[in-house]
Each structure stands twice: as structure tokens, then as C-alpha cells.
């Protein structure tokens, strides 16, 4: 069953989302905080990495080479703080909020329509029962123009689903991305 705002607020009081914004903030920003049936995470200003073409190199998720990434510098104008995601490229950011999933809840992170209407696609990502940490977020710019990706503002929405208690949670099996800090965590085996 998809969980509603009352349930999300109650679970946030128990530490499921920190820091927690108990209402949706939407004036002059890309919305973030609690919504009717989800929670909109914010993009951290701490780090944003963009994939670059490295001639002669092949990207291998089993043997990830950090040389494929470059840091995007946080910029500021009258609209706020942002990173630039170049046209037809892919970037990695991290959520401001730390989540701690209960043992019978899995969330799905989905993109926000404000970005999608500009060609910015957030990778659909599961957040498994028992996961703890800041989410590394994967963003693709499918447009032909460079794009601003705003820090401190909404970047994706978590939808929470309740299921039967699983046999082994992400924490119990020692998931490789458990307890991620507020920084981008690269692909690992």
C-alpha cells in the first residue's frame, strides 16, 4: 500500500527522514518537503559530478574509473544556487536528507515533473527496506541545452510502499551502499 502524508510525518518523527520539512515548500523554488503521498528530497550543495568522455576509455561499472567524472562548481544567481548539467550528459548528486527505511517499507525515488519538462530525467531508484543514508542521485540531461540543477530545492520524490516484513533487509545483508554520507558514492561491487 502507498503511504500517505500522516504516515510519513509519523515515521519522520521516529527518524525516517532527517532533516524533515513537514509541508511542501513551493514558492519561488522547485518544491520540496512532505506532499500528499510522498516526500520531495532536496539536492545537496556539497557535491555534483558530471560524466566526461575520456577518449580510449570504456566506462565499466565493475571497475569504475573516477577519471570519467569532473566536479561541477556550485554557482549562484538571483534564482538561487545551482550546478550546470551539460546537454546530453549525465550527473551524480546527493540528497540533503538522510533516510532510514523501516524493515517493511521500500521507497521508490522518481523524478519531478518540473525538471522532466526541461528534459532532465532522474533515474528511477529503489530505496530498500532497512537502507540508511543519503541517496546518491543520478540525473540525465536529455535536452540539447545545458541545464541548471538547483541545490537546496526539490530534485526527486520518494513514494513509500508497505509490504509484508521481508526475510532479510538491506541492512541485514550488508548492502554495499548502506550508511552513505552526504557525498556522491560511486558504483561499487
What are the catalytic residues? 138
- Whether the CB-CB separation of 184 and 93 falls below 8 Å is answered with yes
75 by DSSP, 3-state: which?
A: strand
Q: Give the CA dihedral 96, 101, 107, 113, nearest 10 degrees.
A: -20
Prior bond to 47 cis, omega within 30? Answer: no
Nearest to 126 by CA among 72, 170, 166: 170
Nearest to 10 by CA among 189, 183, 160: 160
DSSP 73: P
**E runs forming strands in the chain:** 17-18, 33-35, 38-42, 49-51, 69-71, 75-77, 80-85, 89-100, 105-111, 120-122, 125-127, 132-141, 147-150, 154-162
Amino acid at each position: 500500500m502507498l503511504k500517505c502524508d500522516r504516515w510519513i510525518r509519523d515515521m519522520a518523527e521516529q527518524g525516517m527522514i532527517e532533516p524533515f520539512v513537514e509541508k511542501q515548500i513551493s514558492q519561488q523554488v522547485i518544491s520540496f518537503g512532505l506532499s500528499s503521498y510522498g516526500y520531495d528530497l532536496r539536492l545537496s550543495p556539497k557535491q555534483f559530478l558530471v560524466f566526461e568522455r575520456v577518449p580510449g576509455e570504456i566506462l565499466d561499472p565493475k571497475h569504475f574509473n573516477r577519471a570519467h567524472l569532473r566536479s561541477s562548481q556550485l554557482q549562484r544567481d538571483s534564482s538561487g544556487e545551482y550546478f550546470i548539467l551539460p546537454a546530453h550528459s549525465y550527473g551524480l548528486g546527493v540528497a540533503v536528507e538522510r533516510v532510514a527505511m523501516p524493515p517493511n517499507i521500500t521507497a521508490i525515488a522518481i523524478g519531478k515533473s518540473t525538471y522532466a519538462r526541461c528534459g532532465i530525467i532522474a533515474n528511477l531508484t529503489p530505496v530498500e527496506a532497512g537502507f540508511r543514508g543519503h541517496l546518491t542521485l543520478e540525473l540525465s540531461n536529455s535536452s540539447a541545452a545545458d541545464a541548471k540543477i538547483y541545490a537546496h530545492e526539490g530534485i526527486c520524490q520518494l513514494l513509500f510502499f508497505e509490504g509484508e516484513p521481508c526475510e532479510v533487509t538491506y541492512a541485514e545483508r550488508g548492502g554495499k551502499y548502506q550508511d552513505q554520507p552526504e557525498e556522491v558514492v560511486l558504483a561499487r561491487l
